[in-house]
Amino acid sequence: MCGIFAASLQQQVANQLLSGLESLEYRGYDSAGMAVLNAAGQLQLVRVAGKVANLRQRLAEQGVHGQLGIAHTRWATHGGATQANAHPHLYQGLAMVHNGIIEQQALLAQAPELAQQPWLSDTDSERLLRWLALGWRQASDKLLYLQQQLASVQGQYSLVLIDQQQPDCLWAARSGSPLVLGRSEQGAYLASDSQALQPWCHERALLDEGAVLQLQGQEWQLRDAQGQQQEPKWQGFSQQQQRVDRNGYAHYMHQEIHQQPEVLASSWQQLMTNGKPRLERLGSGAEQLLKQVKEVQILACGSSHHAALIAKYWYEAHLQLPVRVEIASEYRYRQSVCQADTLLMVISQSGETADTLAALRHARQQGYLASLGICNQAESSLAQEVDYLLLTQAGPEISVASTKALLCQLQALAWLQLAFAYVRQAPNWQHWADQLDALPESISHSLSHEQQIRQWALDLPLLPCCLVLGRGPSYPLAQEAALKLQEICYRPVLAFAGGELKHGPLALLEPGMVVIVLAGEPHLANKMAANIAEVQARGAEVWLLSEGQLPVIANRQLNLAEQDPWLAPLRLLPLVQLLAYHRALSQGELIDQPRNLAKSVTVE
């Protein structure tokens, strides 16, 4: 998945294209490029391997001039992160940027003459451009041609195309990947998200699935998936889309970790009214829905999946509500069973994760009672497609490794637990509300241990590998800790349930190795103590992050004061976030943009 920014202005376009790309780098950052057309139809192409900063530097050496241009920041799917594979791609006077994945074998089967051509890149995008170019010159209605030609393309895309022979025009299309149109006094814009448009535009309009657009000067023609003329659905910008500064923090990740108490507190205000859950936050009819649910199926990827696994422990123990959790990419390709009155929940901070969206669409055929999304992006595809929506209020999260968005998902899932209890008139809901009310302060307390965690991070040996153990809800927390350390420290960190230690992981232990143990469940304290003894008996060290005392002496220990264990994983979470952050910092890694990853995985 990649970021697209394009504009047709009444002034030079290159600087705005660069700024737009910078705010889209969360979508990928392994290579970048732009193509700018001047009024004489001269096409100037600049592409670099690496980040947008490299493109900025190249443009400082080699200026481009013109008022119409397309730009792209890439996350490699087909072909390496090289200059040749960077977008825009050129062919016969056309230049195109593309986000998505095209099934190129199917495309080439339709046009065998293409398969014979020498290619300039390894990308599916270049194949798509040549497919679109086949009848382009002959087509009198370019928009109609584009739509017809795209109708036989399998895969997903958003794309913007320019033509040397029509230097005042650009064309765009989307199917499966987002594209937003923006306008200002200076001109018209297209971008992969609204946030990139916000500094330049006073209004924006999301393009619908299957839409195609032609922009000529300030005039646009928009057609929907059926080829009917459409008016863009213009909207203003909400406050949340303000540009984000690091405010003195060296990294967004560090800032986002420290924003957690504040975002939890403001989210909490919006989830409750007069001390009761504001059920209308979910959509109308939510109360009846929550009463009717007999089972829950949750689908998600990455950190969002870990949030779901923690909720499973909660809902089954506290609500006696059966919960199944599955990774979206697995669920979407298998035959599954849907029991009557099962609520489908999908969790995604971005709301654009391709597997999660595909799983949601697949699940729609299975007969669920309704779908409920937990998402941090009001305009995302997921937010539009679910029946009920619980919008988290984490604010923009820039760092690829998720921190505050995950904690807000967990808060939302915990709030849902109390909402279920409230509508079913279970007595505990008030007790849970009190605990959630106190959560922001507890998270501040967890963060106050930063210096101690920083020292752990400096001392932590991660080679040849490191293990993280947990039991109960601390097991998915251990999975999240391992993921964070892998994502930004580039070391093999493996998570296991404590009880699984003897079934293989013990073989990895050797003197000097560190096993991080997470323990927030008093009823499992003795069991975890036994695991710790097993580790220490083999000469490995145990570094324990716990809430409440365990009957054991770990090699290192950070113990949070004991509270009701329900929210212990949330209080331990900032400790593992800080551990990963400070470890990556000490290694000198590029923390906010880890290699090979992207924040929003909009391709399969």
Known catalytic residues are: 2, 599
Joined together, the tokens standing for residue 581 give 């952050």
Reported as type and span, the H/E element at residue 355 is helix 354-364
Q: Which of 125, 198, 214, 402 binds ligand G6P (CB under 6 A)?
A: 402
Instruction: Output the 3-class SS for 259-305.
Output: CHHHHHHHHHHHHEECCEECHHHHCCCHHHHHHHCCEEEEEECHHHH
Q: Establish if 593 lies at the interface with ligand G6P (CB under 6 A).
A: no
Joined together, the tokens standing for residue 449 give 């241990």
CB of 400 to ligand G6P, least distance (A): 5
Considering the complex, state which of residue 75 and residue 432 has its C-beta at the smaller distance from ligand G6P.
75
Q: Establish if 348 lies at the interface with ligand G6P (CB under 6 A).
A: yes
Considering the complex, state which of residue 75 and residue 189 has its C-beta at the smaller distance from ligand G6P.
75
Q: Establish if 403 lies at the interface with ligand G6P (CB under 6 A).
A: no
Closest CA to 405 of 180, 231, 240, 558: 240
Instruction: Report whether 318 contacts 431 (CB < 8 A).
Output: no
CB of 301 to ligand G6P, least distance (A): 4
Q: How far is CA 389 from the centre of its chain?
A: 17
Considering the complex, state which of residue 6 and residue 328 has its C-beta at the smaller distance from ligand G6P.
328
Place of tokens 């990139």: 196
Instruction: Report whether 42 contacts 36 (CB < 8 A).
Output: no
Contact set for ligand G6P, span 504-563 (CB under 6 A): none
Q: Which residues pair with 89 in a beta bridge?
A: 96
Q: Establish if 495 lies at the interface with ligand G6P (CB under 6 A).
A: no
Considering the complex, state which of residue 180 and residue 423 has its C-beta at the smaller distance from ligand G6P.
180
Contact set for ligand G6P, span 279-308 (CB under 6 A): 301-304
| Contact pattern from residue 352 through residue 371 relative to ligand G6P, giving x for each residue in contact according to CB under 6 A and a dash for the rest | -x--x---------------
**Under 8 Å CB-to-CB from 500, ≥6 apart: which residues?**
none
Q: What is the DSSP string of 33-54?
A: EEEEE-TT--EEEEEEES-HHH
Cis bond upstream, residue 464 (ω within 30): yes
Considering the complex, state which of residue 123 and residue 348 has its C-beta at the smaller distance from ligand G6P.
348
Strand pairing category for 370-375 and 556-560: unpaired
Considering the complex, state which of residue 23 and residue 546 has its C-beta at the smaller distance from ligand G6P.
23
Q: Which of 90, 225, 530, 597 binds ligand G6P (CB under 6 A)?
A: 597
CB of 397 to ligand G6P, least distance (A): 9
Q: Establish if 44 lies at the interface with ligand G6P (CB under 6 A).
A: no
Q: Which of 207, 211, 374, 400 binds ligand G6P (CB under 6 A)?
A: 400
Q: In b/e form, how buried is each residue of 408-422, taking b as 16+ CB within 10 angstroms?
A: bbbbbbbbbbbbbbb
| CA dihedral over 478, 479, 481, 482, signed as positive or negative | positive
Q: Which of 23, 44, 198, 350 binds ligand G6P (CB under 6 A)?
A: 350
Q: What whole-number distance in Å separates Cα of residue 332 and Cα of residue 351?
A: 16
Number of residues that bind ligand G6P (CB under 6 A): 15
Considering the complex, state which of residue 158 and residue 486 has its C-beta at the smaller distance from ligand G6P.
486
Q: Establish if 349 lies at the interface with ligand G6P (CB under 6 A).
A: yes
Joined together, the tokens standing for residue 298 give 């949750």
Q: Return the range that interacts with ligand G6P (CB under 6 A); candidates 37-45, 128-136, 169-177, 400-408.
A: 400-408
Q: Establish if 567 lies at the interface with ligand G6P (CB under 6 A).
A: no
Q: Return the range that interacts with ligand G6P (CB under 6 A); candidates 84-92, 124-132, 314-322, 595-603.
A: 595-603
Residues of the shown chain interacting with ligand G6P in the complex, contacts defined by CB under 6 A = 301-304, 348-350, 353, 356, 400-402, 597, 599, 601
